[in-house]
Amino acid sequence: MSGAMELSGLPKHPVRNPKLEQYATDGDIAARWLMGIDAQDPFEELDEVCDLGAGNGILGLGALLLGAPRCVFLEVDALACAALEDGLADQGLQARARVLQRDVAQADAVGRCALVISNPPWGQQRRSADRPFLEASISIAQQAVHLMHSSGAAHIEPWAEDMGWDAQRWRRAQLGRHERCGGLLWSPFGLI
């Protein structure tokens, strides 16, 4: 994958709804994060990846470009889903993708998948906005969850461990004024 250039060229997220805490994920950051995931959990060896709260699909599209056989995209916003579909078409990846326009509370529609990737709301507008994403992630992931979240999020590791998962931070990135922890890896105990 030529990485950042391909991901930066995707159709942009069309809406920035503060209630949904929508924001764009930078192509360079996404490419580096996904290559780090691929080094740990090679996408081509997984049955299916889920991009939870997909937005324009930058994370799941990147996983497909890195060799994931299939990706399910879960996104509530209709305009974001349309941009995601355009991105899949531009890359010729529609046959390996399933786009579900649903709220994260309906993540059971995804079924089980090997790995979940997500850049969830950070709770800047609404406290605990990430909680439904955290809960959905562990309900559908079979092997691991890779989460892009604020570096100040101290609640994730203890919560994951309380749920029987091992949580590790593995990458940090600076995005303007905000530091983003580009890697929180969760795995059920015993898989790391």
Which residue matches tokens 């092997």? 143
CA 97 → CA 48, 85, 87, 135, 171, distances in Å? 10, 9, 11, 23, 27
Task: Tell me the C-alpha distance between 41 and 58, whole Å.
Answer: 18
All domains in the chain, ordered by first residue: 4-188 (3.40.50.150)
**Residue ranges in the chain whose pLDDT is less than 70:** 1-24, 121-129, 149-153, 170-192
Task: Tell me the C-alpha distance between 49 and 34, whole Å.
Answer: 12
What's the start-to-end Cα distance of the chain, in Å?
26
- Give, as one character, the DSSP assignment of residue 81: H
pLDDT at 33 (0 to 100): 83
pLDDT at 166 (0 to 100): 79
Phi-psi region of 172 (alpha: psi -120 to 50; beta: other; left: phi over 0): beta
Give the DSSP letter string of 88-149: HHHHT-GGGEEEEE--GGGGGGG--EEEEEE----SSSSTTTTHHHHHHHHHHEEEEEEEEE
Residues sharing a CB contact under 8 Å with residue 89, sequence separation 6 or more, in sequence order = none
pTM for the model stands at 0.81
- Its sign, for the CA torsion 19, 136, 160, 116, is negative
pLDDT at 31 (0 to 100): 84
Measured N-to-C along each axis, helices 27-40 and 58-65 cross at an angle, to the nearest 10 degrees, of 50
